[in-house]
Amino acid sequence: MRKEFLDKLLREHQICPTCPSKQEVGDFFVKLLGALYLDYSDQKFNSLEAIDVNLRQLKLDLDILIRRNPANFKLIANNVSEKFFNNFEAIYDTLDKDIEAIYNGDPAAQSRREIIRSYPGFYAVAAYRIAHLLHKLDVEDLPRIITEHAHSQTGIDIHPAARIGEYFCIDHGTGMVIGATTDIGKNVKIYQGVTLGALSVQKKDADNKRHPTIEDGVVIYAGATILGGNTVIGADSTIGGNVWITKSVAPNTKVYYQARMSSEESKSEDCQESDVQVFREFSK
């Protein structure tokens, strides 16, 4: 091997030798879930004292993870771990509402425990709720690693900076993308393959709102793509599958597409390739 290449590798490995690995951060997230739900715990707690000891250990673990990244040194004096665990009960309460939304929104759901144990949407939302709180506390690295851990497990990509209201239901979810500046209201239901993304922007606009706003009570079906920071999907609207939206939609609106072909096109053997997608929008 060339010395110059070895020097590059050495410099790469010296960037942050103390930073926690992705595996360590993912394992910590699972331990947090285990504190909230038995199904993710490697031990069963039989007393209040045991639960308290576990939470104290998790707080210490979080403090160590934060301190191991030099980018977080400015947070040490802010007692971030204490602030996080002061809000741990609120995370549990919000996840309880998400579980209720998933149960009510999915006829196939048999029980709360089934959702906790096996639903990828719940796992991804739990990772987001935890990562979002860490993001709000200005913790570097850990929030994105946690949501990317969930992404790798579920195929659901939620940026920790997104703002998502209560009673959030993800049905199936594989291939879903929710960008950093997305705003989602309460009682929203989203299916697999949905993208809430940005129109092409320059790097200098990274801090501006680039992703859409989804108001309360909206349902977005599989494969829909909604783009742009100025795009607002009005409350109680229904967005059909596979539509492409870059403009705002009024409240109480249904949006879907239909395939249409002319009579002459229908005579052609290639008429399937010349189909025209016609979008329909009407108030409920």
Could you tell me which of 21, 14, 12 has the C-alpha nearest to residue 142?
A: 21
Strands (E), the chain: 157-158, 163-164, 169-170, 177-178, 183-184, 189-190, 195-197, 213-214, 219-220, 225-227, 232-233, 238-239, 244-245, 253-260, 276-283
Q: List the pLDDT tens digit at each of the 284 positions of the chain.
A: 899 999 999 999 999 999 999 999 999 999 999 999 999 999 899 999 999 999 999 999 999 999 999 988 877 767 999 999 999 999 999 999 999 999 999 999 999 999 999 999 999 999 999 999 999 999 999 999 999 999 999 999 999 999 999 999 999 999 999 999 999 999 999 999 999 999 977 777 777 999 999 999 999 999 999 999 999 999 999 999 999 999 999 999 999 987 665 555 544 444 333 333 445 566 65
The Cα 158–Cα 125 span in angstroms is 8
What residues does CATH 2.160.10.10 cover in the chain? Answer: 162-284
Kind and range of the H or E run holding 29 = helix 22-36
The overall pTM is greater than 0.85: yes
Q: Which CATH class is domain 1-155?
A: mainly alpha
Domain 162-284 has CATH 2.40.30.10: no
What residues does CATH 1.10.3130.10 cover in the chain? Answer: 1-155
